[in-house]
């Protein structure tokens, strides 16, 4: 068969289409959480804003005080920073009289890394400085591998990773679930410090069961709420709040290992509304379609061959 322009274009288009079909037939990547995933259930309705979790976190992770905290004699950071891995913030409305009430009420929220099932920070990092542990699911940071590009910061939908701008050799800083304590048989320091059980450590599956149990509790009735570690057997009896019927973090972006319950809407607590499908999965599906199936390179090559041939024909005609 003579190589005509039409044949060439037809061939490259068909090859590209076939390879693209093959690529899209690859199973779309699902957010995976290891069977032994560990996490935190934060119940805003139980939180009294004492900030013991923040103190425990600073101590366990040897973090320096945050100068942004105002003119107090103690460390009182207003937000997450390169010196603060977790922070308690407050929602308040009107006269802010009643806890766990939207109107004329207030509520607390604890911010930290969500340890996403399919973390955008891991997907965005070009040198694998951010990794998700295959056993515990903890999203960790390797300062030796980091090149300081800050792609993880841009990618994170929760705005969690912070950069040490104040240091000559800055690094990324974020909660790693106190993996150094967990490795020695301990638990996250914030949960170990919490007096009400608002921050509860444990296997994600058990935490989910506990959360769904609480969603059925009758507001104002007294129940046992586990303390520190859901497996510890320790608990405190307190009244249940009128929960919003949602476990935040169960579905968002494929789920996360840190989950939240609340008596006020989550957007009041500053938690973003997010789709169920992870951003990492969406962008990687597009990349895989374009590159792994070789659709884009084949299409580019086809175009290149076409233009080279066209120029060669033109040169030949000119001669
Ligand atoms: S919350 Fe942000 S930093 Fe934490 S795992 Fe998810 S994407 Fe990464
Ligand atoms: S898990 Fe550890 S590092 Fe993360 S917020 Fe709690 S105390 Fe801080
Ligand atoms: S220690 Fe517990 S109750 Fe106190 S602020 Fe932290 S999460 Fe809330």
The yes-or-no verdict on residue 258 having pLDDT over 50 is yes
Q: What is the pLDDT of the chain when averaged over all its residues? A: 85
The yes-or-no verdict on residue 209 having pLDDT over 60 is yes
Q: Which of 49, 50, 258 to mutate to test the pocket of ligand 3 (most atoms within 8 A of CB)?
A: 50
The yes-or-no verdict on residue 142 having pLDDT over 50 is yes
Per-residue confidence at 74, pLDDT binned at 50, 70, 90? confident
| 173-204: pLDDT as tens digits | 999 999 999 999 999 999 999 999 999 999 99
Decide: 53 and 88 in contact? Cβ < 8 Å. yes
Q: Taking each helix axis from N to C terminus, what angle separates 295-318 and 5-24, rounded to the nearest 10 degrees? A: 170
Highest mean pLDDT among 11-20, 27-36, 167-176: 167-176
Regarding the beta carbon of 156 and ligand 1, being less than 6 Å apart is answered: yes
Q: Which ligand gives the minimal distance to the CA of 52?
A: 3
Q: What is the mean pLDDT of residues 270-299?
A: 69
Instruction: Enumerate helices (H) and strands (E) in the chain, giving the number of each.
Output: 9, 12
- What pLDDT, on the 0 to 100 scale, is given for residue 292? 52
Round to whole Å and give the CA distance between 225 and 235. Answer: 5
**Atom number in ligand 1 closest to CA 130:** 8
| 79-127: pLDDT as tens digits | 999 999 999 999 999 999 999 999 999 999 999 999 999 999 999 999 9
How do strand 98-99 and strand 105-111 relate by DSSP bridges? parallel
Per-residue confidence at 316, pLDDT binned at 50, 70, 90? low
Per-residue confidence at 23, pLDDT binned at 50, 70, 90? very low
Q: Which of 88, 113, 177, 200 to mutate to test the pocket of ligand 2 (most atoms within 8 A of CB)?
A: 177
The yes-or-no verdict on residue 288 having pLDDT over 90 is no
Closest residue to atom 4 of ligand 1, CA basis:
113
The yes-or-no verdict on residue 309 having pLDDT over 90 is no
């Amino acid at each position: 068969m003579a190589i005509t322009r039409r044949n060439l274009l037809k061939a490259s288009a068909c090859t590209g289409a076939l390879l693209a079909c093959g690529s899209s037939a690859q199973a779309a990547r699902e957010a995976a959480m290891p069977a032994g995933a560990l996490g935190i259930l934060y119940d805003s309705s139980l939180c009294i804003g004492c900030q013991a979790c923040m103190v425990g976190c600073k101590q366990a992770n040897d973090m320096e005080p945050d100068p942004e905290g105002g003119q107090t004699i103690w460390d009182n950071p207003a937000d997450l920073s390169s010196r603060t891995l977790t922070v308690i913030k407050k929602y308040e409305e009107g006269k802010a009289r009643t806890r766990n009430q939207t109107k004329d009420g207030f509520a607390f929220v604890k911010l930290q890394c969500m340890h996403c099932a399919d973390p955008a920070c891991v997907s965005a990092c070009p040198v694998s400085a951010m990794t998700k542990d295959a056993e515990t699911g903890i999203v960790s940071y390797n300062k030796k591998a980091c090149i300081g590009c800050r792609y993880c910061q841009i990618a994170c939908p929760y705005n969690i990773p912070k950069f040490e701008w104040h240091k000559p050799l800055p690094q990324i800083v974020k909660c790693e679930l106190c993996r150094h304590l967990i490795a020695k048989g301990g638990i996250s320091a914030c949960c170990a410090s919490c007096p009400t059980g608002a921050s509860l450590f444990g296997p994600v599956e058990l935490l989910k069961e506990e959360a769904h149990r609480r969603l059925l509790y009758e507001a104002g009735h007294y129940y046992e709420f586990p303390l520190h570690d859901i497996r510890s057997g320790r608990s405190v009896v307190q009244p249940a709040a009128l929960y919003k019927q949602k476990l935040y973090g169960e579905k968002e972006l494929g789920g996360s290992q840190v989950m939240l319950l609340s008596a006020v809407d989550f957007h009041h607590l500053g938690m973003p509304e997010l789709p169920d499908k992870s951003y990492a999965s969406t962008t990687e599906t597009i990349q895989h379609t374009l590159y792994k199936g070789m659709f884009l390179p084949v299409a580019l090559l086809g175009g290149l061959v076409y233009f080279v041939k066209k120029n060669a024909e033109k040169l030949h005609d000119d001669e």
